[in-house]
Amino acid sequence: MTWQQVDLTTDPHELRYAGDPQDIVDALGDLLERRPAWHRQAACRGEGPATWFPGQGGDTEPAREVCAGCPVAEECHAAGSMERFGIWGGMSNRQRKAARRAAA
């Protein structure tokens, strides 16, 4: 399967696929089967991606408000600890980097 990432300045998670559409369906099925159980308890379940990926200089407060009351924020933060984009467990990339430095 070949994925191409496009114009990261507008949306770092927009992907385009050039190939057999059935491959996409198969890949989604694989992802859903492997999804961690804690995803079902996440406060953000059902929220759109724009909240979690506001773009450089964008407002992160809506995501942080949801994360503040989330019962699995710690698991989410751990899952996204090495991600370069987005809010994970209520933390931005800059905050995740600082947390890694403090832990080292």
- pLDDT per residue, tens digit, the chain (104 aa), is 444 444 445 555 555 666 676 666 666 766 677 778 788 888 988 787 888 888 888 888 999 999 999 999 989 888 888 888 889 999 988 888 898 889 88
Calpha distance 5→15 (Å, rounded) = 5
Cα 37 to Cα 6, 27, 52, 64, 100, distances in angstroms? 31, 19, 20, 22, 25
Domain ranges of the chain: 1-35, 41-104
Calpha distance 3→62 (Å, rounded) = 30
Calpha distance 9→2 (Å, rounded) = 21
pTM score of the predicted model: 0.61
CB 17 within 8 A of CB 1: yes
Cα 104 to Cα 60, 98, 100, distances in angstroms? 26, 10, 6
